[in-house]
Structure formats: structure tokens, C-alpha cells
Structure 1
Amino acid sequence: MGERKVAAPRCAALVGPYLSGKTSLLEALLHATDATQRRGTVKDGTTVGDSSAEARARQMSTELTVAHTTYLGDPWIFIDCPGSIELATEATGALLAADAAVVVCEPDIDKAVMLGPLFKFLDDNAIPHMLFINKMDNATVRVRDLMEALQQVSQRPLVLRQVPIRAPEAESTVTGYVDLVSERAYAYKPGQASELIAMPETAREREADERQKLLERLADFDDALLEQLLSDAMPAKEEVYAQLARDLEQDLLVPVFLGAAERDHGVRRLLKALRHEVPQPAQTAERKGIAATGEPLAQVFKTVHAAHTGKLSLARIWRGQVTEGLVLNDVRVGGVVRLVGQQQQKVPAAVQGDVVGLARMEAIATGAVLSPSGRGEPGLAWPAPPPPVYALALHAEKRADEVKLTGALARLAEEDPALSAAFREETHELVLSGQGDIHLQIAVDRLRNRYNVPVATRPPQVAFKETIRRPHSLHTRFKRQSGGHGQFADIHIDIKPLPRGSGFVFGDSIVGGVVPKQYIPAVEEGVREYLKQGPLGFPVVDLSVTLTSGQFHAVDSSDMAFKTAGRQAMVEGLPQCEPVLLEPILQVEMTAPSAYTARVQRLASGRRGQLLGYDAREGWPGWDVVTAYMPASEIHDLIVELRSLSHGVGSYTARFDHLQELTGRAADKIVESRAAAAQ
């Protein structure tokens, strides 16, 4: 296997489920490449990544960590991505910027399903990826059984590159591995390169069997290799390595490696595979449809607002060279920095393949394609953020911080497009929306830690409304004498219910000028003012009010008098119309693997949902979509239970569909709660 001369930096994103050990793998990679003198641990809080207060408090990654290093003379950038499904948008950006991904998982068959959405994203975007099965030092499952489970969630064939060597006295203890291409056996040495050893007889039969499977899988994509196998000729190892590199570049298969990052097991073997098989930046640019020649081209995949350095736009350089002072998209680059965790090193220029921070590019958003001309590239289109599935109403604990809060939320949303904040007119609340409770709690912590804006949160209010069930007619007179001109208005109105969804309709049948035309809009204004909060305490909809008759006084009548009469008429009349509460009903589409469909249906029914059916999820083999009508009041923590029953991969989308009457004790409790809050 000959070495290649590498000039351009390559980038690999470390992705995988929460607790799979990505941050530990990053530490091991950096230590093995001499980028750090001491290997940090998550437990001790000494890692290069996860340095923020939010990450330390939770002992989990809460944002990307970019780290530059060098391995055997080749420059590398590793991006450690959060594993929580709620922070998946962070990983999305890193994957679109990378040459390849290292998917990290645990040797747990039950958790294999958690990789399904990640594999789907990688394959949909043709991103080359390897699988690193971590924590093999404590694995109790057989690798062949684990591979079967993992293959169920991968559309691309998984190709095992190693078989474990287990201790004779303890089958659960993995002491080394056999490389299936070189057919060499190695014993693990914690903190050091593995030691070449004679292949144990206990591993020889398994190695031969798995190597044959590897070659047969490669032959599916290479006719020359297939002919050799059919003629019982063994291909040269160099041919096998070359074919593996070609297939990885085209995302035709997924090489699978074994190891234990915390003990440095398998880390250097992974590094060698990355070095020899991961595509060059020029090849990645070609895959994305970027021309090889032209003006400098970069793309921002992450925005960071740092406390002391201001805004930093993390970008991958796809073509040319970017220097401080260069104008991209009409914005001057304020500086170019290289990152190792929180450490920043100023550099004079960034070349093709580099991942750097571009300083003080205030007008540039995440996903922006940067060039001197400002022209974009079709192959670098940025995905829309996922729809929110969880929300919290929030307000600053100190009234003086309200303005600061608005600015801080805007910066958080710029850093993380999966976050959004908006003021809901219906409930008069500022609502922060995102991908789950952890996601929003991290944002709340950042408001306090980074922007010194502590906030209080609560579940958002549901936008209940009310309507009427029967018509009513009434006569109202407003008369007040207070010296000089008085106030006088006399009206007759008809109040009638309308079909659901009609809103509010105002009309008049005045004849003979008993109420002058100039006063009729004032009556409507008074009516509308009252409808903002009806007898049950909620906005009133789906009714008509018709002004049928009335009287006026040439001196004492006025717009204000008729407006007051209109409001007074509604105060008197609407309680006589049998008011009833309306709750918003959403059409909800819940997605999950087909194995969980029955549980999802029970979940919907248990939340007062009306099941509308289920169908296969388009483009997702083995997944279903369950559709139901569900009350908005049952949606707040739906995602928590949905993920709980589907190993974290289920999700949903919801849209308003209609308003529905709510009666009985449930309605009474809502009205009582509203009345208590108004006191």
C-alpha cells in the first residue's frame, strides 16, 4: 500500500448517537497525532472539545468542535459533532463541509436503529463514510450479530475491515484485531500503536470467512476483481486497498472498523484508513459540482458569536485562497483563524480544503457561499432547518433585560438555525422553538452564561377560542349626562352563530337613517373590541352581528357613544348565546420505523387523537407515517414520548387544521384557569 503525497487539508466529521464516544475518539485522534501532549477525558472535563459551560454541566457535546492536526505529514481537520438528536442540525452543517464522515456507534444491537436517519442523510448527499464501532473493550455481543443489525438501517453495504481477537479466558475481552486486507494480526497497546503478532489459530477461520465476504462485496463494483475471484485467484493487497478507496469516494459501501477510543484501541488503524482512503478536497468539490478553476470559493457551515472575538464564520475553502482583507459577497474578511477547540491561531491565508474561522463578517449567514463576485454554486445549496417540535414561552427575569433578550435570541438563532423565537399575538407570549427540551434548555443556559440575560420559562399557552351555539337579539341603550353635551346611543342587534371557520361578520340592515351611516363603523369597532375576550375569557369567532335598528340624538350622539353601545350590547348579549370553548386541532404526521408504528398509534390515541391512518414513508424504506388529528394542548411534550418509544429517531410535523368544541370538566378547568390568571 503506497503512500500518497497530500498537499490539501482534508476534513472528517465525527458523528453518531449520544454516548457513542465521539469526543473521546477526537481526543484519541489528537493525542495519536501529537496535537495534544495530554489526552483529556470527558469525565474530568479536560477535553479539547466540550469546553462550554453548557457542555461541561451536561457532560455532553452541545456544539461543534473543530480541531486541526497533522498525521504523517498530511494536514487534517476533525469536526466533533453533538450526538443528541436534538442537536442534529449542528452535525448537518459539518457533514456538508466534510470530505468524509466517521460514524461512531456502540456495540449494542438495540441501539442500531439510532443510526438510520444519519445513514439516510449521508447516502442522500453521497457523503463517503466509515463506521467505527467504539467501546469494543466491553462488548458482549458477537460482531456478526451486530453487523446484521446495523445493515438493517444502512442502504449501503457494510464491509467489515477487521475481526476482533478475544482473550481465551474471557470472551468479552477484546485484546486485538486481524486486518482483513493485510491479513495481519495486532495486539492492542493502550496509548501506543498496536503490536504486530502472529495470528491466533482461534481467529484464523473467522478471518478467512470474513475476508472472502469483503472481496465478494468489492467484486460487486469491479468486474476485474470478480473475474479473479471466479478463477480462484487472490487479488493483490494494493488492488484491494485501491478498490476500497474508489468505492468509499463514490459512497458505494461503508468500511467498518473496531476499537475503544478511551483506551486508544484501533485509533491508529482508523487514522491510516482515513489517510489512504478519504477523498481529497478537489474530489469532494468535484462531487459537489464545483469547477476546478475559478475565483476563490468558500461556504460557511457554522456561525459562532464568541465573547471576546465577536462573530466568527466557520467556513470550508472549496477553491482558491482566502486571505485577510479579501472581499467576499461585498463583505471584507476581518481575519483568518485556525482552530483547535477554543484555541485560535491567526493565519495569513487559507487554501483549498482548509476549515477556518473568518472574522467579523457580520452580514454573512450560515450556509452562505462566499466568493469575490458573490455568485453561488448550485451544488452548495443549504438545507432548510427542521421544523420545530418543542417550544417554551419565556421572558426576561429583569424587565430591563427585555431589549437585550431580543438581541441575544437573534444571535442564538444565527448560530443555530434550528432555534427560532417569535412573539405570538394570540397568547401575547415570546415563544422559543426548537428540537426538544435539551435543545431549548441549552439555549436558556447560553442566554444566562454568555449574554447575562436570565430568563424564566413555562409551557406556551394554547390559543383557545370560543364561539356561540344559539342566536340572540337585544336592544341596548347607552345614555350619560354629565353637564354640557351628554352621550347617547341606542341600538338593536342580532347575534347569530356561523359555521366553523367563518370568523366574524358584521353587517347592518338600517333603513331610514335611524342610525346615521357615520356611526355604524363605531358600533362594529365596539363589537370587535369585546370579541377579543368573550364571556369565557378567550377570543370569540364564528358569529355574525347585525345592526338592525336604533336611535340617535342630534347633539349627544357620537362615535364614542355608539362604540360603547356596541361593546355593551355584546357584554349583555353574548352570555345569552350559549358560549362554548373551542380548542385548536392539529393534523399531525408522526414518522418512525415500522416496528414502532403500533406504539405510535397508541400514543396518538392516548392523547385524545383521532387516527386518520398510516402509510409507508416515501423514500424511507422500513419507515411509516402515522397521521392523526390531535388537540394542540396534547402536543407540547409529544416529541419526548415519541422519541422515548422509538429509540430517539421518531419525529413529527404538525399544522393547524380546525377548531373543535370542548365541553365538560376539561373545558371548565381551562375557563377557571383563565379566570384565575386574569385576576
Structure 2
Amino acid sequence: MRVFTVLGPSHSGKTTLVEALAGLDGGKPRKLDFFGGATATVFDFMDEPWAAFDIPGGMENIAEAGPVLAASDAAVLCVPPETDAAVLSAPYLRVLEEAGLPVLIFVNRIDTAADRISDIVSALQTYCAHGIVLRQVPMRQGDQIVGAVDLISERAWEYHEGTRSSLVELPEGMRDREQEARAELLEQLADFDDALLEQLIEDQRPMTGEVYDVATKVLQHHDLVPALLGAASHGNGILRLMKTLRHEVPGVDEVKARLPGGDAVLAVGCMADQVKHLGKTVLVRALDDGLAAGAPLCGTSVGNLTEIDARTQIQSLNPGEIGLTVKTDHLTLGSLYASDGAADMPGWAQPHVPVHRWMVSPVHEKDETRLSTALARLTEIDPGLGIDQDENSGHAILSTQGPLHLRRVIDKLADWVGIEVVTEEVPATLYETISKPVEKHHRHRKQSGGAGQFADVLIAVAPRERGAGFAFSEEVKGGAVPRNYIPAVEAGAQDALKEGPNGYPVVDVAVVLKDGKHHAVDSSDFAFRTAGKNAVREALAEARPLLLQPIMRVEIHVPSVFAGGLVPVISGLKGQVLGFETHPDHAGWDVFRTLLPKSAEPELFRTLGGATRGTAWFTAELDHYEELREAAPAH
């Protein structure tokens, strides 16, 4: 079995393309949908088994592409027929370039194309370091595309609605255009084949079979990216695409050679789901012998193996075949599976760090524990999902790839385990510090029958440099505070710093225990901890507290055409532009750097989508804290 992935921008016709390819031989394809919207379709073409993976469009879904591409022999990038839409394909070209697997571009819906195909390819080339070569040129009648000419075989094919194209004579009026395009193709192929180059230099006409051989070699080595044409909804150009996949795409041995782990890797997890009454299902592709029901995988035996219908039991998978693991809960999506353990996917297959953060809590309090368990299980099937916890409320914080991703998670919780949740924005992350030194004396005395409590401390608090953190020291002389009680005073000081006068954690403060008194009977660790806590609290209130906001160092990965337009966006979010530069490894991309208040991250996420047509993403890490000079949000 050979496997390919179809991906590309939203509304480019990917699903229609997969359906058209799967229906070429008139059989009944088998299809399975997975959490996130990805699908696997198994079908036969010319008596050979095939599987096509379909990844939904949009940046929020690109996290699903990594595991699927890692298991694929090739990828088909389905693109719209407009030059202005080429930038929408930039994120997909970027991940495909990193993956290094054979890629074909399919310019879909060419019946609606208003731009020249060569201009569309040229626009795509902006975002691809490898050369993109046209393998076909369109035949036109007036403004309408009625067929295509294969530049290797030089055969002309006329399109027909819903049926296979017919072979026709090459129109005389386009012979010069065809010869020009073919010469350009041959020159690009000759850069990777000395024999072909020699023939061209000597003005010899290469044999068609030889050119196909060179085209196959450069595709398999990912030296060039061939572009083909068609209209999937009309069945045009589909057979040519499928034949190219059949003749030119390598088999599973190349997949294994491309991935880390070597001979130890038995399989790749491609897609996964949590299914009511069935449990976790993981679609795997076998890369070697040994994947069977009951056999060891990731250190524990495989439960059941089925076809993608989740019902038909199979005993084992041959190299290259795909199947569902059922009752094999130890498998998680996004890993390379060996018999005794799992390895991480290569870096290019890892999802973007999720930065769309919302706090979730169950509608019914009784579901709190169930929600925590369910979210943990969802992370096992969704590598793009992150979970942490709000320190103040204890509620879960979901980090997703975007609002649609968040909605999918919420819907899944309702459908799968029957948990309804509500969402709210994550509270602003603010801190406090102080702006002047203060000394404070505090005596803790309590007598309520029996042993009492007594501790007397004199402490000094002082501001430290930003980022210096908390420091504690003591200057007690003459044993006024026994040394065994000094750690309790420090612990009390740290207790006080958990919540300052404005209700936020206090940072960058030095606390010095200068003096104190104790009682031989009534003093204790607890008494000195309480005294230290109260003394520091009282001192903080008098030390002119300041609110601090975290400032993040943000890197935005953005197509170069949009980079300049981000300057007013960042200024509007009260950020500081540090500059932008060409990405060293990815054609057509810039890295835009800025300092931005953490509270502005949600708005950056929302604004970035509109400013870059949904193509950019960002990462953020703490840079420093600075004084907040405006009213703080309610705590």
C-alpha cells in the first residue's frame, strides 16, 4: 500500500480531490473521520491499494499535518487558481519543505482561473526553495480552459465533464507555447541529470521514457516540485495526477529512511480519536514487519488491529499498510513507535506552540474530576492541545491553536463524555513590587489557656532590581531570635509575598530579619512564621507598592509580504518593534520581533489572523517585567 496526504488552504477543493481520486476505478472507497476533521480514505487504483489522508485547511489545523506527513510516501498540495491566493499556501509549502518528502502541486479549479497558470506557479515559487516545474500547460478556447498538454509526452488531452479526458491533436496555435514550456521543463530537469544535460547541449531530442525517468528521480529526491492542473469537481486532470503518483512516488522504505530512529521504528501514529464505547483508536502505518495484534509496541502489547471500519479484525500489518489499533491505550499520537518504546517526531512534524488560551470549567461542579481526566486523554490524540492550571482558581487552562480548535475540544467533551463546560478569558498575569525600603516591628502574642504563642521580629523590606527575585537574610545579634526559628521567619515572609496589597504576587523584594525577641516557653516555629508573615505584610503596604506587568519577547513568523503591515498592529497593542528580517531557512518568510505586554497576546492572536490572511503565527517567552502605569484589571 502506498499513502499520500492532500493538504492546502481552506476552500481549495481538497476533499473533492480525494473523492475524485478514490473513485477513479469505480470501486467503493472506505473512509474514516477522525477528531479534528482529518480523514483517511482507502481505495484501489489499477489493482493496487492506496490510502489518502485529507487534512482540513487553515492554520489551526496544520498541527495535524506533522504525524500524517511523517507516515506518507508523498504529499499533494492542492492550491486555488489565483496568484493572490499563493500566499495562503505558504505555511504548507514551508512544512513540506522541512519534511523533505516528494511533493506535487495540483492547481485545482482551473476552469475558473482568471490568471495565467505560469503566473500562479511563479507566485507559489516565492515560498518554495525548490524549483516548481510545470508538467502541463492548459489548452484554451478563448478565455476557457478546455484541456491540458503533458510536457513530457507532448500529448494533448481534452477535458470532458465527469468523464476521462480524450486524446486530441495539439492545436496548431499553441505549438510554440508548448515547445517553450517543454524546453524550460527539460532545462530544469537537466540540472539533476548529466545524461539529459548532454543531450540538450548537443541538440538531441531525448526519449520520452528517459525524461519520465529523470522526472521520477527528481520527485523522489525532492529536487523539484512538479505542478499539474485540473478541476476535481469536474473530474478533469485527476487521472494524470493519480498516474503520476503511481509511477513516480516511492514506497514505504523511503519513509523509514527519512525518519529518525532507523530500523527500530516499526510504525507511525497518523491520526487518533477517542470514541464512545470503543475507547482510544490510533491509525498507524506499519514501516516494518512485526506489527501484529498481541505483539509488543512501545513496551506493551498491541490490543486489537482492525481495518479503518473499526470492525473488521486483522492479525497483522505488512510494511506500508495502515490499520486501527483498538484497546491499545498506551499509544499516543505524534510518536514513532518501536517495540520497546516511542521516539518523538522530527522537529518539522511538531505542532506550533499553542498560544490561544482560555480557562474552562464544568457547568456542573460534580464533573470537575471527570473533566480533568477527559482533557488529559484528549492530549493523547491531539498534539496541538496544551493543558495547564490557573494558580488562583484551580480551573484548567486550554491552550489551543485557535478558536475553532477550542470549539472542537468543547464539542468533543460534550459528545464523548457528556461534559458541558464554560469558558472565560485567562486573568491577566500581574505582579507587585515595592518602591521604597521600610522597617517594621511586629509582635505576635496569643494566650488562650495552656501553651501560648509569642514571637517578636523587626524586619526590613527593600526593593531589588527587576528580575532579581526574592532574597532573605538576617542580622540578629546575641541570639535574640534563636537560629532554629529563623527559617520560620523566612517562610512567613514568603507566605506574605504570595499576595500583596493589590492582590497579586510580590516579586523582587529583599527581606532582612534585623532583631527580635523570643519566649522560652511560648515561642515556636508557628509563632515566628506568623510574626514574619504579618510584619512583611504591614511593611509592603507602606513601601509604595507598584503593579508590574510581564513583557514578552514575541517572534512572529510571517510571509514577507505582510511583515511591514505588522508595525502599526504592534504599535496599536502598545508593543515595541525590535525589527524584522528574512528567515534564514524559509523562502518568502520573515521573522518579526517585538516586545509586547502579555495581556496583549489574545488581541495579537485575533489581529494577526486578519492582518496576514491567517498565515502567520507567533511564539512568546518572558523577557522582563515593567511598571504598569494604568489601572489594573480587577483581581
Fold equivalence (TM over 0.5) = yes
Find 1:154's aligned residue among 128, 136, 142: 128
1:26 aligns to 2:18 (yes or no): yes
1:360 aligns to 2:324 (yes or no): no
Q: Which moved more, 1:174-183 or 1:517-526?
A: 517-526
Q: Unpaired runs of 5+ in structure 1?
A: 1-8, 38-46, 55-61, 675-679
| Residue in 2 that maps onto 1:433 | 399
| Residue in 1 that maps onto 2:243 | 272
Conserved? CA contact 1:27–1:48, under 8 Å = no
- Cα deviation 1:304-348 (Å, max 9, x = unaligned): 322233222322222235332333344222222222xx6654334
| Residue in 2 that maps onto 1:325 | 294
| Residue in 2 that maps onto 1:44 | none
Rounded to whole Å, the distance in 2 between the matches of 1:152 and 1:121 is 15
| Residue in 2 that maps onto 1:84 | 58
Q: Which moved more, 1:413-422 or 1:438-447?
A: 438-447
Q: Which moved more, 1:409-418 or 1:193-202?
A: 193-202
C-alpha deviation, 1:133, in angstroms: 0.6
- Residue type matched to 1:121 in 2? V
Find 1:178's aligned residue among 142, 149, 163: 149
Find 2:283's aligned residue among 301, 304, 314: 314
Q: Which moved more, 1:414-423 or 1:505-514?
A: 505-514
- Mark the CA change 1:484 to 1:240 in structure 2 (over 3 Å): closer, same or farther: closer
C-alpha deviation, 1:438, in angstroms: 2.0
Find 2:228's aligned residue among 228, 233, 257: 257
| Secondary structure at 2:57 match in 1 | coil
Conserved? CA contact 1:82–1:91, under 8 Å = no
- Cα deviation 1:533-592 (Å, max 9, x = unaligned): 111111112222323333445555544444443333334332211111011111112222
| Residue in 2 that maps onto 1:94 | 68
- Mark the CA change 1:661 to 1:137 in structure 2 (over 3 Å): closer, same or farther: same
C-alpha deviation, 1:378, in angstroms: 11
Rounded to whole Å, the distance in 1 between the matches of 2:52 and 2:360 is 36
Q: Which moved more, 1:573-582 or 1:487-496?
A: 487-496
- Mark the CA change 1:20 to 1:576 in structure 2 (over 3 Å): closer, same or farther: same
- Cα deviation 1:291-313 (Å, max 9, x = unaligned): 8xx89932223333222332223
| Residue in 1 that maps onto 2:137 | 163
| Residue in 2 that maps onto 1:141 | 115
Conserved? CA contact 2:70–2:259, under 8 Å = no
Q: Root-mean-square deviation (CA), in Å?
A: 2.8
Conserved? CA contact 2:455–2:527, under 8 Å = yes
- Structure 1 length normalisation: TM-score? 0.86
| Secondary structure at 1:656 match in 2 | strand
| Residue in 1 that maps onto 2:515 | 549
| Residue in 2 that maps onto 1:660 | 626
Conserved? CA contact 2:357–2:425, under 8 Å = yes
C-alpha deviation, 1:466, in angstroms: 0.4
| Residue in 2 that maps onto 1:223 | 194
Conserved? CA contact 2:157–2:165, under 8 Å = yes
| Secondary structure at 2:6 match in 1 | strand
C-alpha deviation, 1:392, in angstroms: 1.3
- Mark the CA change 1:637 to 1:580 in structure 2 (over 3 Å): closer, same or farther: same
Find 2:550's aligned residue among 577, 584, 590: 584
- Mark the CA change 1:492 to 1:383 in structure 2 (over 3 Å): closer, same or farther: same
- Residue type matched to 1:653 in 2? T
- Residue type matched to 1:68 in 2? V
Find 2:378's aligned residue among 412, 426, 429: 412
- Mark the CA change 1:210 to 1:579 in structure 2 (over 3 Å): closer, same or farther: same
- Cα deviation 1:177-214 (Å, max 9, x = unaligned): 22222323223223221223333344333223222222
| Secondary structure at 1:537 match in 2 | coil
- Mark the CA change 1:279 to 1:478 in structure 2 (over 3 Å): closer, same or farther: closer
Rounded to whole Å, the distance in 2 between the matches of 1:478 and 1:630 is 44
User: 1:419-568, aligned counterparts within 5 Å?
Assistant: 419-425=385-391, 428-482=394-448, 487-554=453-520, 556-568=522-534
Rounded to whole Å, the distance in 1 between the matches of 2:164 and 2:403 is 42
Rounded to whole Å, the distance in 1 between the matches of 2:70 and 2:311 is 23
| Residue in 2 that maps onto 1:127 | 101
- Mark the CA change 1:629 to 1:380 in structure 2 (over 3 Å): closer, same or farther: closer
- Residue type matched to 1:438 in 2? L
| Secondary structure at 1:90 match in 2 | helix
- Cα deviation 1:376-396 (Å, max 9, x = unaligned): 899988844432222111112
Conserved? CA contact 1:601–1:626, under 8 Å = no
1:11 aligns to 2:3 (yes or no): yes
Rounded to whole Å, the distance in 2 between the matches of 1:260 and 1:347 is 37
1:205 aligns to 2:172 (yes or no): no
- Mark the CA change 1:348 to 1:34 in structure 2 (over 3 Å): closer, same or farther: farther
Paired-residue identity, %: 37
Rounded to whole Å, the distance in 2 between the matches of 1:610 and 1:568 is 40
1:395 aligns to 2:387 (yes or no): no
Conserved? CA contact 1:296–1:320, under 8 Å = no
- Mark the CA change 1:467 to 1:223 in structure 2 (over 3 Å): closer, same or farther: same
| Secondary structure at 1:415 match in 2 | coil
Q: Which moved more, 1:183-192 or 1:145-154?
A: 183-192
| Residue in 2 that maps onto 1:63 | 37
Conserved? CA contact 2:298–2:342, under 8 Å = no
- Cα deviation 1:599-621 (Å, max 9, x = unaligned): 23333232222233333322123
Rounded to whole Å, the distance in 1 between the matches of 2:485 and 2:253 is 74
Rounded to whole Å, the distance in 1 between the matches of 2:476 and 2:562 is 62
| Residue in 1 that maps onto 2:87 | 113
Q: Which moved more, 1:145-154 or 1:310-319?
A: 310-319
- Cα deviation 1:161-192 (Å, max 9, x = unaligned): 22222343xx1x32222222232322322322
1:349 aligns to 2:332 (yes or no): no
C-alpha deviation, 1:236, in angstroms: 2.2
- Structure 2 length normalisation: TM-score? 0.92
- Mark the CA change 1:308 to 1:556 in structure 2 (over 3 Å): closer, same or farther: closer
C-alpha deviation, 1:276, in angstroms: 1.6
- Mark the CA change 1:116 to 1:188 in structure 2 (over 3 Å): closer, same or farther: same
Rounded to whole Å, the distance in 2 between the matches of 1:527 and 1:336 is 58
1:238 aligns to 2:209 (yes or no): yes
| Secondary structure at 1:181 match in 2 | coil
| Secondary structure at 2:69 match in 1 | helix
Conserved? CA contact 2:62–2:351, under 8 Å = no
Q: Unpaired runs of 5+ in structure 2?
A: none
